[in-house]
Structure 1
Amino acid sequence: MSPLDWAVLTGTLLFIIGYGTWRTRHAGASLDGYLLGGRQTRWWGVGLSIIATQASAVTFLSTPGQAYADGMRFIQFYFGLPVAMVLIAVVAVPIYQRLRVYTAYEYLQTRFDRRTRTLAAGLFLVQRGLSNGLSLYAPALVLSAILGWNTTVTVCLLGAAIIGYTVSGGTRAVTVTQQGQVAVIFAGMATAGYLLVHYLPAGVGFSDALHVAGSMGKLNLVDFHFNWTDRYNFWTGMTGGLFLALSYFGTDQSQVQRYLSGQSITQSRLGLLMNGLVKVPMQLGILLIGVLLFVFFLFQPAPLTFNRPLYDRVLQNPAAATEARRLEAAHASIQLSQQQAAADLVAARHHADAALQADARQRLQTTQAATAGLRTDWLALARQAAPEADAKDTDYVFISFVLRYLPQGLVGLLIAVVLSAALGSAAGGLNSLGSTTLVDLYRPFTRRAVCTDAHLVRVSRWATLGWGALGIAFALFAARMENLIQAVNILGSLFYGTILGIFAVAFFRKQVHGPAVFWAAVVTQLATLLAFWLTDIAYLWYNILGCFAVLLLAELLQRIWPQAPIPQAVEPSNQVVAS
């Protein structure tokens, strides 16, 4: 990057972090202030914090690459989210706010028992701790590509920076800082979308780009065909996606903590509804950038692989270098035909010539099929030459465009977008991990005499530090996973169904007691992991299957232990239950 890019990048990040830290410099004086920001956040702050926590760097690196390779059908994953926001606002928010809990899992002890509370908190900690590692790996990937640094070193350095910021600030600092991060994110992505259209050849406009993308099957927004093994269609989005959103926003402490900090039930509800209105259009825009990248590289030279570090590594292997260069040359030749076919398709559209459009579309599809064949051969070669490396390149598509085509200054802005998203998501995740460890695992088993605010804030900070270290460790293995945006959602789906089932029993099946739901959750979680390893069921279905399995098993086990007492919900009076 140029000196101007570095100035824009560092200036943007330092201002956001510095302003947030200064505004909330006294937030850690009390436990309530450190964990929930004194419950003083307005609805728009709640909404922006929810968006920033969910929209990690993975969103802006991996989602455009997902659309580049697979079109826009990933948007169906979010179809159930607005419905989930309404349901959570109606059912969960009043309960959490009335009980004045610090975490969602405190409610489970008032409803069931400590064992069920600990199980749900433990499942959350495992899932979120690992997901934070994936969120950390994504921005490390960016910096490695820019600076040529070793990925391991980059992960450690970036992780240390995020840990230091999160440990010092608490929830209030996270929320205030995320507001600036969201502003940078929207500005940067709007700029990238505009420039993608601006850089198309003369005579090729936005509507032409959409026409070309549609001709190549990239505008596949809705698919009504039902298939158990298909990850993204209307039915998985409106069912599996709905249940995943219900669990993520309703029971995942990284999100619950955002609206627990709201001033009132109304403010928390409005923040959730804001997310429901903004998230789908926002994700649609990010996917559209990926589709525009696909069209852009139909007219501009594109590499055989966007994973240039791996390509350079393959060239260092004498046995593979010759074949790699042959594939690259063949790819360059095909691209000439591809560019001509794309230009002819646009020209035929302008002249409303259906026959010429059909001919150009056929030639373009032929060149795409040939390109796909060459890329398959490249993947096989790369895996043979460097079997331990990640040969996929979809996570590199967007950043490759930024580095190669954006003018000085804007490169720094787009990198700031990615890192702002990383900071916001990782800070929210780490903050919730520290809070849950303190509230649900440490304090219930600690003598009240030592539980002063100063002591508990200190423990929460140490817990946050520990989870940050675990996230760094897991991030070092993230390169071996598939597309990162899918990896994050797969990991969540393996646990969210069980957790949502526990809360569904708590909310709606008042006659079921703690032992029944505890063992139902244990059996369901083990069955979910086995099903993932042994079957090809699309991962979104695990959110539904897991939830209903807990509900049904809990009902069955309740009939076996009908004599067990059912504890009545009690209000913790702004204190963590420690019975």
Structure 2
Amino acid sequence: MSNIDWIVLFCTLSLIVIYGVYKSRGIRNIDGYLLGNKSLPWYHVALSVMATQASAITFLSAPGLAYTSGMSFVQFYFGLPLAMILLSITFVPIFHRLRVFTAYEFLEKRFDVRTRVFTAFLFLVQRGISTGITIYAPAIILSSILQINVTYTTLFIGTLVILYTVYGGTKAVSYTQLLQMSIIFGGLLTAGMLVIYLLPSDIGLVKALHIAGKSGKTNAIDLSFDWNNQYTLWSGILGGFFLQLSYFGTDQSQVGRYLTGSSIRDSRIGLLMNGLLKVPMQFAILLIGILVFAYYQYNSPPIFFNKFELNKIENSQYGPEVAKLEAAHQQVFQEKQAHINKLTTALDQEDDAAVAEARTQLHAADKQAKTIREDLVALMQKNDKAADTNDNNYIFLSFVTDNFPKGLIGLLIAIVFMASMGATASAINSLASTTVIDIYKRFVRKKGSEQGYLSASRIFTLVWGIFCVIIALYASRLGNLLEAVNILGSLFYGTILGIFVVAFYIKKAGAKAVLCAAVLTEFIVVSLWLADVMAFLWLNLVGCAGVVLFALLFQSLPLTTKRQPAQR
């Protein structure tokens, strides 16, 4: 990056941190540290909820996912608006009325302490691991820019986020997320316009989408009903609905965001606004990835997008072999250029036969390029078994750093950093709040002082931050980070949601029945995933339905007929 980019990056991040620290000054108790004294308006809630979900992974991995697989991932969010409506009607008023710090406090009131601890444990495991993945995403950026090992940049980013979160608590998180999302929306709009501008002068937005469509990248809607297809309309509406319902309704990283609302109305409006804005925002991010794909149909893409790993293999003993592969890669691109020009002409003339012929030739060229890339990856693994051979997360980053003007590169990289800071800070804050409220305050120190609980919150924030950094050091092995986070969530969210559904709607089910049902269902969900029986989104539906059905079954057995206290 240029000096201007570094100045823009430093100033933008400094502004965010200083603003958050300033707004969070004067925190004196645990209510202020964990819930911001429940004083935030609806627009704070809405943007904070969006910022918590839209981590750096969204802005790095989503364009890369669209580049390689197309637009089908947008279907993942189709169940989100329905989930927001249901949450606003049911979960929000109950949580506000009970005046809880965490969602899991409610479970002890409804069932018993074992159910509360088990559910909190599932959340801590899932959120702790996924937060580590979130920290790894911006570390990729520094690694690529500075050309150093991602381990060092992961440690740097993790330390920065931990220090920021330990001091500010949820109030700092919410206020900084308000400013972050404002800058993020502006930056994304600018990035999309610039990608279109960088296309050849005779290739506009519509023609670029046509080119991408003929390559199978604009497949936003899939009406097929296939259990093994990750992203279809049905898996998005049904499986995605249960995943989003569980994430926003039972994951403390999100519950903690809308519990900061000054009233039930503010929390409801904040969630509904998130439901309205999230799908268009995600569609726009994926569209940018499609436009990047169109750009590389007319401009030679790197043979490998992770510049650090590419430089490492180029400077190894296999350098001459890499040079031959790069020459072959360029030759294939030259051939592909001729096919692309034929396709463009055929589209202009509406010649279907010529379009079909050009598509066939393009697919053959793509296969050749894929073979060359596989040979390069084999050399990387031969040179270093620990090499990061998945460069999906580097595609958009590589495009930005190679093509965007000075200053804008720094701003867009700052956007990715801000997204990571917002999502990671709120996640670590939620891990600390769950640990303090559901474990420390419940079992270790039941009658501590407000200052004592505040100190414990900061200590556990530090502990969980260190844990997440350790996880981040191994995140490179998980492939596309966006999919990795959602797969991990699907392993736990269905079961957690099922517990809350029973708590809210099935009054006759008791603590022992629901706990046994949850343990059995979680075992089944993990087994189905390991056996690769179905696409991961369906695991959310299986988990929720399993807990409900098994709870009803176990409650009918003689050993579990003892009634539990009714919901208060």
* Same fold (TM > 0.5): yes
* Partner SS for 2:104: helix
Q: Who is 2:7 aligned against?
A: 7
Q: Who is 2:433 aligned against?
A: 435
* Partner SS for 1:232: coil
Deviations 1:187-241 (A, max 9, x none): 2111111111101111111111011011111000111112222111112111111
Q: CA deviation at 1:448?
A: 4.0
* Partner SS for 1:302: coil
Deviations 1:65-88 (A, max 9, x none): 000000000111111111111111
Using the alignment, how far apart are the partners of 2:524 and 2:351 within structure 1?
57
Residue 409 (structure 1) aligned to one of 403, 407, 410: 407
Which of 513-522 and 366-375 deviates more? 366-375
Q: Who is 1:110 aligned against?
A: 109
Deviations 1:437-493 (A, max 9, x none): 1110111114444x2111111101111100000000000000111111111111111
Q: Who is 1:577 aligned against?
A: none
Using the alignment, how far apart are the partners of 1:325 and 1:543 within structure 2?
47
Which of 370-379 and 146-155 deviates more? 370-379
* Counterpart contact for 2:148–2:308, Cα < 8 Å: no
Which of 551-560 and 42-51 deviates more? 551-560
1:491 maps onto 2:488 in alignment: yes
Residue 477 (structure 1) aligned to one of 468, 474, 477: 474
Using the alignment, how far apart are the partners of 1:188 and 1:469 within structure 2?
31
1:35 maps onto 2:34 in alignment: yes
The one-letter code sitting in structure 2 at the alignment partner of 1:464 is: T
Q: Who is 1:537 aligned against?
A: 534
The one-letter code sitting in structure 2 at the alignment partner of 1:272 is: L
Q: Who is 1:511 aligned against?
A: 508
Using the alignment, how far apart are the partners of 1:329 and 1:378 within structure 2?
12
Q: Who is 2:378 aligned against?
A: 380
Deviations 1:378-401 (A, max 9, x none): 333333332222211110100001
The one-letter code sitting in structure 1 at the alignment partner of 2:417 is: L
Using the alignment, how far apart are the partners of 1:10 and 1:427 within structure 2?
19
Q: Who is 1:273 aligned against?
A: 272
Q: Who is 2:340 aligned against?
A: 342
TM-score, normalisation: structure 2: 0.97
Using the alignment, how far apart are the partners of 1:94 and 1:34 within structure 2?
22
Q: Who is 1:201 aligned against?
A: 200
Q: CA deviation at 1:355?
A: 4.2
Deviations 1:121-169 (A, max 9, x none): 1110111011110000010011011112322221111111101111111
Q: Who is 2:143 aligned against?
A: 144
Which of 375-384 and 252-261 deviates more? 375-384
Using the alignment, how far apart are the partners of 1:340 and 1:87 within structure 2?
53
Using the alignment, how far apart are the partners of 2:248 and 2:487 within structure 1?
16
Using the alignment, how far apart are the partners of 1:562 and 1:495 within structure 2?
25
Which of 82-91 and 379-388 deviates more? 379-388
Gaps of 5+ in 2: none
The one-letter code sitting in structure 2 at the alignment partner of 1:494 is: L
1:61 maps onto 2:60 in alignment: yes
Q: Who is 1:326 aligned against?
A: 324
The one-letter code sitting in structure 2 at the alignment partner of 1:18 is: I
Q: CA deviation at 1:344?
A: 3.1
Q: Who is 1:576 aligned against?
A: none
Using the alignment, how far apart are the partners of 1:313 and 1:149 within structure 2?
10
Q: CA deviation at 1:315?
A: 2.7
Using the alignment, how far apart are the partners of 1:536 and 1:189 within structure 2?
37
Using the alignment, how far apart are the partners of 1:293 and 1:428 within structure 2?
31
Residue 549 (structure 2) aligned to one of 547, 552, 557: 552
Using the alignment, how far apart are the partners of 2:59 and 2:180 within structure 1?
13
Using the alignment, how far apart are the partners of 2:561 and 2:391 within structure 1?
58
Q: Who is 2:220 aligned against?
A: 221
Using the alignment, how far apart are the partners of 1:127 and 1:448 within structure 2?
26
Deviations 1:346-403 (A, max 9, x none): 2333344444434433332332232223223333333333222221111010000111
**Could you tell me the percent identity over the aligned residues?**
48
Deviations 1:237-276 (A, max 9, x none): 1111111101100100000111111111111111011110
The one-letter code sitting in structure 1 at the alignment partner of 2:113 is: R
Q: Who is 1:575 aligned against?
A: none
**Equivalent residues in 2 for 1:183-332, closer than 5 Å:** 183-318=182-317, 320-332=318-330
* Partner SS for 2:128: helix
Q: CA deviation at 1:553?
A: 1.2
* Counterpart contact for 1:290–1:398, Cα < 8 Å: yes
Which of 347-356 and 121-130 deviates more? 347-356
Please provide the CA RMSD for this pair. 1.4
Q: Who is 1:574 aligned against?
A: none
* Counterpart contact for 2:512–2:560, Cα < 8 Å: no
* Counterpart contact for 1:254–1:429, Cα < 8 Å: yes
Q: Who is 1:455 aligned against?
A: 452
* Counterpart contact for 1:389–1:480, Cα < 8 Å: no
Using the alignment, how far apart are the partners of 2:444 and 2:384 within structure 1?
51
* Counterpart contact for 1:184–1:416, Cα < 8 Å: no
Using the alignment, how far apart are the partners of 1:567 and 1:461 within structure 2?
34
* Partner SS for 1:29: coil
Using the alignment, how far apart are the partners of 2:539 and 2:350 within structure 1?
47
* Partner SS for 2:556: helix
* Counterpart contact for 1:184–1:420, Cα < 8 Å: no
Residue 368 (structure 1) aligned to one of 366, 369, 391: 366
The one-letter code sitting in structure 2 at the alignment partner of 1:418 is: V
Gaps of 5+ in 1: 571-579
* Partner SS for 1:408: coil
Q: CA deviation at 1:506?
A: 0.4
* Counterpart contact for 2:428–2:465, Cα < 8 Å: yes
Q: CA deviation at 1:110?
A: 0.6
Q: Who is 2:161 aligned against?
A: 162
Q: CA deviation at 1:341?
A: 2.3
Q: Who is 1:21 aligned against?
A: 21
Q: Who is 2:47 aligned against?
A: 48
The one-letter code sitting in structure 1 at the alignment partner of 2:38 is: R
* Counterpart contact for 1:125–1:433, Cα < 8 Å: yes
The one-letter code sitting in structure 1 at the alignment partner of 2:425 is: A
Deviations 1:395-437 (A, max 9, x none): 0100001111111101100110110001000011011111111
Q: CA deviation at 1:562?
A: 4.5
* Counterpart contact for 2:40–2:262, Cα < 8 Å: yes
Q: CA distance change for structure 1 residues 352 and 230 in 2, over 3 Å: closer, same or farther? A: closer
Q: Who is 1:130 aligned against?
A: 129
The one-letter code sitting in structure 2 at the alignment partner of 1:435 is: S
The one-letter code sitting in structure 2 at the alignment partner of 1:173 is: A
The one-letter code sitting in structure 1 at the alignment partner of 2:470 is: A
Using the alignment, how far apart are the partners of 1:38 and 1:504 within structure 2?
28
Which of 371-380 and 29-38 deviates more? 371-380
TM-score, normalisation: structure 1: 0.95
Q: Who is 2:391 aligned against?
A: 393
Q: CA deviation at 1:536?
A: 4.0
Q: Who is 1:573 aligned against?
A: none
